[in-house]
Amino acid sequence: MLVRRLLAPLGGVAAAIALYPGTWGLDAIAREGQLGPGFWPRLAITGLALACVGKMLEDWQRLRRAALGAPDARPPLARGKLVAGIAFIVGYVLLAPVLGFALVSALFIAAFLILGGMRSVPAIATNVVVGVVALLYLFVKLVYLPLPKGDGPFEAVTLALYRALHLY
């Protein structure tokens, strides 16, 4: 049973190890003093490996506790929330080109906070504003990543926001 529980996370670690060297050649086109295009794939691959190691440790501890007779304290899987979360992610991808990164990110963050059980409007608004502004500065100013600005009036709103934040 232990081997079956650890097989998927081990596969994730193996995939990360196999994929990592493929990112080395991406930095050949990087400008001096800037993050190269290989940085983000390496960050994602490292995150995959760390998440898989964390999952292995969690499963190992759970199996160890079960062997000692301790009950499993995990809550049941909320399938409705899982489906809603997946729908939010798909909606984010589909709406980003139309609404622009800033607006769709604000909606996405608010939706996930509400889905997760947060009900305080000031807390949700604060998280949305701080999250979107931080992401915009990170991607536009630091990484120079071209983000979707939206179509029609949404592009104008995005550009006005960029000017207000001194991103442009």
pTM to 2 decimal places = 0.69
* Residue 134 identity (one-letter amino acid): A
How far is the C-alpha of 70 from the C-alpha of 63, rounded, in Å?
10
> Of 112, 90, 92, 102, which Cα lies nearest the Cα of 135?
102
The average pLDDT across 91-102 equals 96
Percent residues over pLDDT 90 in the chain: 62
Question: Could you tell me which residue, 34 or 154, shows the higher pLDDT?
Answer: 154
- The string over 89-124, giving b where at least 16 C-beta atoms fall within 10 Å of a residue's C-beta and e elsewhere, is eeebeebbeebbbbbbbbbbbbbbbebeeeeeeeeb
pLDDT above 60: residue 1: no
The average pLDDT across 85-109 equals 96
> Of 147, 50, 38, which Cα lies nearest the Cα of 159?
147
pLDDT above 60: residue 83: yes
The average pLDDT across 2-18 equals 85
What's the pLDDT tens digit per position in 49-82? 999 999 999 888 888 887 787 777 777 888 999 9
How far is the C-alpha of 63 from the C-alpha of 65, rounded, in Å?
5
Mean pLDDT for all residues in the chain: 89
**Residue-level pLDDT at 159:** 94
pLDDT above 60: residue 104: yes
How far is the C-alpha of 104 from the C-alpha of 147, rounded, in Å?
11
> Of 63, 134, 79, 55, which Cα lies nearest the Cα of 101?
134
Residue 149, classified by CB atoms within 10 Å of its CB into exposed (0-12), middle (13-18) or buried (19+), is buried
